[in-house]
Structure 1
């Protein structure tokens, strides 16, 4: 369920950014970073950050991660 939510969040973030005049694409990362499931959430965040490090631009536009804890 968590992976489906993350994929949907990324799709909507990219869809909204396509219509923006800004040169930055912001992608929301909604993970469990505190509490009982923090370990898994931190691993997911590290994987997302690694992917961002490898691909920092899309179609010539800078990609920015917006990280939020889902407390």
Structure 2
């Protein structure tokens, strides 16, 4: 992604901005934490589905390339 481009949430199609809580889908891209449902089937850990009883992973805080390079 070019540092002038915005990351786009794969669920709501809105920009993912610095400071937003998000998850990274290993094949599709970023996803706002607020766009994820409560179902464990919606989440993965290291590209693998969660096992029964696994806790839902904590979201990450988004930092854009522009911010990292400034």
Asked whether the two chains share a fold, i.e. TM above 0.5, the reply is no
TM-score, normalization by structure 2? 0.26
Q: Going by fraction, where is helix more abundant, 1 or 2?
A: 1
TM-score, normalization by structure 1? 0.26
Which of the pair has the greater relative contact order for Cα pairs under 8 Å at 6+ separation? 1
